[in-house]
Amino acid sequence: MFFASDNSGSVPQQVLESLARANEGYAMGYGGDALSQQVTDKIRTLFEAPEAAVHLVPTGTAANVLSLACLCPPYATVFCSPVAHIHEDECNAPEFFTGGAKLTLVGDADRMSPEALRAAIENEETRGVHGPKRGPVSITQVTERGNVYSMDELRALTAVARDYGLPVHLDGARFSNAAVKLGVTPAEMSWKIGVDICVFGGTKNGLMGVEAVVIFDADKAAEFEYRRKRGALLFSKHRYLAAQMDAYLTDNLWHDLASRANARCDQALQGLKGAGVTVLNDTHANMIFFEMPRAAHRAVQEAGAVYHLWGSPEGPDNEAVMGRLVFDWSLEPEAVSAFVAAVRAAV
Amino acid sequence: MFFASDNSGSVPQQVLESLARANEGYAMGYGGDALSQQVTDKIRTLFEAPEAAVHLVPTGTAANVLSLACLCPPYATVFCSPVAHIHEDECNAPEFFTGGAKLTLVGDADRMSPEALRAAIENEETRGVHGPKRGPVSITQVTERGNVYSMDELRALTAVARDYGLPVHLDGARFSNAAVKLGVTPAEMSWKIGVDICVFGGTKNGLMGVEAVVIFDADKAAEFEYRRKRGALLFSKHRYLAAQMDAYLTDNLWHDLASRANARCDQALQGLKGAGVTVLNDTHANMIFFEMPRAAHRAVQEAGAVYHLWGSPEGPDNEAVMGRLVFDWSLEPEAVSAFVAAVRAAV
Amino acid sequence: MFFASDNSGSVPQQVLESLARANEGYAMGYGGDALSQQVTDKIRTLFEAPEAAVHLVPTGTAANVLSLACLCPPYATVFCSPVAHIHEDECNAPEFFTGGAKLTLVGDADRMSPEALRAAIENEETRGVHGPKRGPVSITQVTERGNVYSMDELRALTAVARDYGLPVHLDGARFSNAAVKLGVTPAEMSWKIGVDICVFGGTKNGLMGVEAVVIFDADKAAEFEYRRKRGALLFSKHRYLAAQMDAYLTDNLWHDLASRANARCDQALQGLKGAGVTVLNDTHANMIFFEMPRAAHRAVQEAGAVYHLWGSPEGPDNEAVMGRLVFDWSLEPEAVSAFVAAVRAAV
Amino acid sequence: MFFASDNSGSVPQQVLESLARANEGYAMGYGGDALSQQVTDKIRTLFEAPEAAVHLVPTGTAANVLSLACLCPPYATVFCSPVAHIHEDECNAPEFFTGGAKLTLVGDADRMSPEALRAAIENEETRGVHGPKRGPVSITQVTERGNVYSMDELRALTAVARDYGLPVHLDGARFSNAAVKLGVTPAEMSWKIGVDICVFGGTKNGLMGVEAVVIFDADKAAEFEYRRKRGALLFSKHRYLAAQMDAYLTDNLWHDLASRANARCDQALQGLKGAGVTVLNDTHANMIFFEMPRAAHRAVQEAGAVYHLWGSPEGPDNEAVMGRLVFDWSLEPEAVSAFVAAVRAAV
């Protein structure tokens, strides 16, 4: 009954096997090996973008902040959700890698609305050089509160960015979960709707630590490479990043893993219906945000469920507390069933 | 006959097995898992430093520049060799992570002499705030030109740093090779002679991509953690870094791997005696820098040897060219023998 | 009828005379001249802080961001009002000079409340290294919306900072106007209530371009000097900064100038009573924020009044628009009278 | 007998008068005033560059580092003399403003030779992303050791930059002294020979603190303005910078002041002939670097001469010590005569 994070589960056997296969003989470093090149080609094919630059990095933060650094000069501002990972969970890494750019928080909701985005953009560059220049729009799909933007919602946001000539970054740490949920292809959820740099996440979906940054604007490709190196993020033994990603791309493993995670989420949603739990997010991929009485929370935890709680476990029994369930690929259906049963017993 | 780099060989079977063992069930992220804690303890034991802070990072550049950022304010300068990796091979990463500190190049030799170090330090802070403040001394052991500082040489350098109250960083990407060569313990080659932050390298000695940063000054420990996170260098699935390092620390694997690499280097040195090749570095761990006539170089390469050449393969036959041989743990004795034979045939 | 800004009026004759007096013969550069030392001593006396470090810089932004850089590591966050000058009007200079720190906006009002400050501080450092570390509290006195914190309000804010061990920066671009309004001494409005670094503004109160940064924590003094130099903000011909500040400190010119400005503001407030104008700020030093119908605004502007308008001059006649009146020392009472008359005629 | 620096003399009466004239009534801030616009136009005319962007800043360091920041991405390197002001006397300001770029020191002489420049450029970008990308060439005219590049020498350097497509920055803190010496126009010594951004210095040549940055590549103009603001270097009361520069441009004051300074230098050179003093720089504008016996140095200082000494005044009497004489516009011929007499008496 482990729902604390999708960075806590094991990796599938295919990844270990791919690492073992890649561990043969000598290979040129820093991405100069054959496997790294093959992976680049496979991602270009997957994204239907034969000219795209593709770079692998070991963390999601790295993927995001190197992308933003290519899109945002230090005297500009990034438009993002107030709960975006880049704002709340990267310890000023975007500010660091951009050389001191600002983040402008759009609206007060998890999902940015096109209206709020337009208002936030309009509010900048009204004071000449006194405020920052307008910079990129950063969209998180799946959002940090577990929602999936619809394709129409995404198109509405990128349309606003386009109105102002601003580039678009997609934080796709859970790209696969969203694509599965929406039933769209990687190309459809990226360059076809106006995304300039897309993070195709692997770590939260079953890899040890690899994200692919797919850059559709070839002008940014060389800059990205310099920034990755000076960011201490270029692997010398690059084949071990490539090997993980190669497994991910083989037989649509990325799609399969995300489908499994999303299925566990659906199972839980079904199970929780009528169980006295309020589900807070309205669309779902592999996360559920919920409220239930604190006493029930305590009982569920005592039954062995592990998940993240917003706020304190101590306090009045009847007060509602907010929790987050994250479903990863490796979760067993039995664990979900047990959790549902525990909730039903507790509420 | 692959001598191009120690970042090109495979990793030992123990590392793959350790990854597989660590890949069981759920584990808390970001270093909160049990294995990560065990590895910290093992490194403290190895370094005889029960209070040391220990942090794992995925690249050697990361280990160096996060360390320097903790030791060097942005208005100071780092004292290092003119061929130091931090100066020549990290694409301004030290300048980036320190927020714009400078590197002051000490003397004109691979190995810094205490006299040159003293002169370089004396030359700074003579102009008040017009020049940078004196910052840390960075020592590379094994050096970038394949030399191993003796313990006396190291002590002489750290004594100069101490005279000026400057902290000492040890770039130990090849720490193990040096320790094996000198027959000293990790403690003897670090805090016992005045090193404040030591990089205990794993990547060049058989791991996929893990370095341990050992911080003997506990005041810097918290700062390091914030800097690692905002540097996009904190692994969420930290257990896979820990697993590699755990294998490295088990049954003295680190020592065994370095011994193998050094032995291949010794084998080559013996074989090249009297072969018409000038060896340029005077002490050795796992690298040989050499000169031989260009024609011989071409012949050896045609025989299948792969190594790094300084300068061009094109030019007068008799002109001496400089090459670098790097011996990694996975190299077979037969490859060395074949190389020696090829050289003898060519010169 | 010029009320657009207090950076637009002339400087008093005493400043020109002081510059002329300082322009005799040779003087050592970079603050090594006698006049610069005298000015330091005078400010220490004025602030009753004989140990304080005092540094002159040419702009208010410089004074703020160098101060914050001394108080805030790059992985921390500054707590400030959502309309603080450092957030809205310095084009990412705080982010730049701190090396990438973040600004956390406190509450949604011009004046921070202690409750909102406490809540904002509590919200940070709840996520370990994932969010920024708590950094300094920055208070603007007079605020950007023309309000003056009472001494009790200031003490309540610094008490919250002290509870968390956080340093306090006072943006005193209009320090003199506030001190005059409250009838307090510089010491009372700075270190005596827990301010660690105080900006004693001169530019908005009659100087060409000089601010004094008064650092009560001597440990930060040397760092400030290095940061000023590498910030390209150390004047070589420092005597011309010192000469302006010397005039400012002589015969309490600073107090006299601020009194004049505040008196013009009071005059306007009296005149506008019952004139159909809504005054938005509730305490006043030298600024009035107001609303009046757009048609009246147009009429007043046609009569020759110059001031800053939030929003557009175009739109429905009856709609209220917001304007800002800033009163500087050089304003004639007749100009204020004329403005009041124009408003009364227009509304 | 004051020869310590050209930042120590007084400013001419015209500058004070211009400040007084500008001190009338209200003026829009941040360069929006009429005088600031007039100054821009006058500089465009002076440089025969009607499209150039012109920006005023208060310090020479500011002028240099903002220029370099526009020309050099953080992952690149600036090519400059090993004694360049940007390397030796700006406390890491170039590293700070560029966001962490490196400086590559060209050759070992004060004046860069085209051969040394070419060699330095060739040496970078040979290691892919491991070393920095090639960035701008920075030329200091007059050099820090008092030499004036000939027009041919300048053209040879800019030709090398052009061969590699690298932009050229001219540190013209003593631009006027050099132009007077060479008898060339500002246009001839800047864009006509391939300079992209030229610093037209005022501070060392009689202003209180103003430098004009002349940007011939209009694409960089907007970026400069943002960088200046976030660098805390945009004056609100900009008219007082403009007033100084306006005086400087009126009746060729800049040329007149530099001519006076250079004439004093010539006078000293004539006087020192055969006086037992070794002059070290071979071309001259307003500086002399010299060697004389330490005993003579002491006697000259006792006679009242003030200048900068490299090395210690203590030591063997007969040992040669190096000194620097800087001649500023305000120096009286009698002071030079007295100095020469003191030297002749002492040696």
Give pLDDT tens digits for B21-65: 999 999 999 999 999 999 999 999 999 999 999 999 999 999 999
Which of B120-129, B206-215, B294-303, C81-90 bottoms out in mean pLDDT, i.e. has the lowest? B120-129
Q: Does C231 touch chain A (CB under 8 A)?
A: no
Domains of chain C: 13-253 (3.40.640.10), 254-346 (3.90.1150.10)
pLDDT at B126 over 90: no
- Chain C residue with minimal CA distance to D307? C28
Residue whose tokens read 């620390």? B249
Per-residue tokens: D167: 């932009």
Half-sphere exposure of B93 (CA within 13 A, CB side): 32
Residue A220 in this model has a pLDDT that exceeds 90: no
- C144, C286 in Cβ contact below 8 A? no
pLDDT at D312 over 90: no
Gap from B26 CA to chain A (nearest CA, Å): 5
Question: Does C206 contact D at CB distance below 8 Å?
Answer: no
Rounded to the nearest angstrom, the minimum Cα separation between D315 and chain B is 18
B219 pLDDT exceeds 90?
A: no
pLDDT tens sequence across D229-260: 999 999 999 999 999 999 999 999 999 999 99
Q: Please, what sign has the CA dihedral across residues A177, A181, A187, A189?
A: negative
Query: Do the chains contact at B128 and C30, CB–CB below 8 Å?
Result: yes
pLDDT tens per residue across span C102-123: 999 999 999 999 999 999 999 9
Residue D33 has pLDDT above 90, yes or no: yes
**Touching subunits for chain B (3+ Cβ pairs under 8 A):** A, C, D
Cβ–Cβ gap D232/C231 under 8 Å: yes
Residues 97-126 of B with CB under 8 A from C: 99-100
Q: How much is the pLDDT for C126? A: 82
Per-residue pLDDT tens for A239-298?
999 999 999 999 999 999 999 999 999 999 999 999 989 999 999 999 999 999 999 999
Give Cα separations from D241 to A90, B141, C208, C283, C342 (angstroms): 42, 53, 9, 35, 35
Q: Is the torsion defined by CA of C289, C293, C294, C296 positive or negative?
A: negative
**Chains contacting chain C through 3 or more C-beta pairs under 8 A:** A, B, D
The answer to whether residue C222 scores a pLDDT higher than 90 is: no
Q: Do A203 and B237 touch (CB under 8 A)?
A: yes
pLDDT of residue C144: 97
- Residue B316 in this model has a pLDDT that exceeds 90: yes
Among B2, B7, B29, beta carbon nearest to A7: B29
The pLDDT value recorded for residue C283 is 95
Question: What tens digit of pLDDT does each residue of D199-240 get?
Answer: 999 999 999 999 999 999 888 888 999 999 999 999 999 999
Which chain D residues are Cβ-neighbours of B92 within 8 angstroms?
A: 74-77, 100-102, 132
Q: What pairs with residue D54 in β-bridges?
A: D214
Res. A313: pLDDT tops 90: no
Average pLDDT over residues B66-87: 98
- Hey, what's the torsion of the CAs at A80, A81, A83, A89, to 10 degrees? -10
Residue A82 in this model has a pLDDT that exceeds 90: yes
- Chain D closest-CA separation from residue B345 CA (Å): 31
Of C9, C26, C97, Cβ closest to residue D2: C26
pLDDT digits (tens, 9 = 90+) for C241-275: 999 999 999 999 999 999 999 999 999 999 999 99
Distance of residue D107 Cα from the nearest chain B Cα, in angstroms: 13
D175's enclosing H/E stretch is helix D175-182
pLDDT band at C316, cuts 50/70/90? very high
Structure tokens at A290: 């919920």
* Residues paired with residue C194 on neighbouring β-strands, in sequence order: none
Q: Enumerate long-range contacts of A273-279, CB under 8 Å, 24 or more apart.
A: A275/A340, A275/A343, A275/A344, A275/A347, A276/A343, A276/A347, A277/A343, A277/A347, A278/A320
Contacts of D30 in chain A (CB under 8 A): 128-129
Q: How many CB pairs under 8 A join B and D?
A: 62
Read off φ and ψ for residue C294, nearest 5 degrees: -55, -40
The question of ipTM being above 0.95 is answered as: yes
Q: How does D293-323 read in b/e, with b if 16+ C-beta sit within 10 Å? A: bbbbbebbbeeebbbeeeeeeeeeeeeebeb
- Give the pLDDT score at D310: 87
Alpha carbons D13 and D19: distance in angstroms, whole number: 10
What pLDDT sits at residue D347? Answer: 83
Across the interface, whether the CB atoms of B74 and C128 are under 8 A apart is answered: no
pLDDT of residue A210: 98
**What is the three-class DSSP state of A172?**
coil
Helices (H) and strands (E) in chain C, counts: 13, 11
Nearest to B89 among D77, D88, D130 (CB): D130
Say whether pLDDT at C312 is over 90. Answer: no
Residues in chain B: 347
Interchain contact, D7 vs C59, CB within 8 Å: no
Task: Measure Cα distances from C160 to C112, C119, C154, C168, C194 in Å.
Answer: 11, 10, 10, 10, 11
If you measure CA to CA, which chain B residue comes closest to A4? B28
Residue whose C-alpha is closest to residue A104's, from A82, A83, A73: A82
CA-CA distances (angstroms) from residue C84 to C81, C103, C171? Answer: 5, 10, 9
CB spacing of D208 vs C29 below 8 angstroms:
no
Burial D153-185 (b: 16+ CB within 10 A, else e): bbebbbebbeeeebbbbbbbbbbbbbbbbbebe
Report the distance separating Cα A104 and Cα A84, nearest Å: 11
- H or E segment to which residue B153 belongs: helix B151-163
Neighbours, chain A (3 or more CB pairs < 8 A): B, C, D
pLDDT of residue B266: 98
With a CB-CB cutoff of 8 Å, which residues 3-32 of chain B face chain A?
A: 4-5, 7-11, 16, 19-20, 23-30
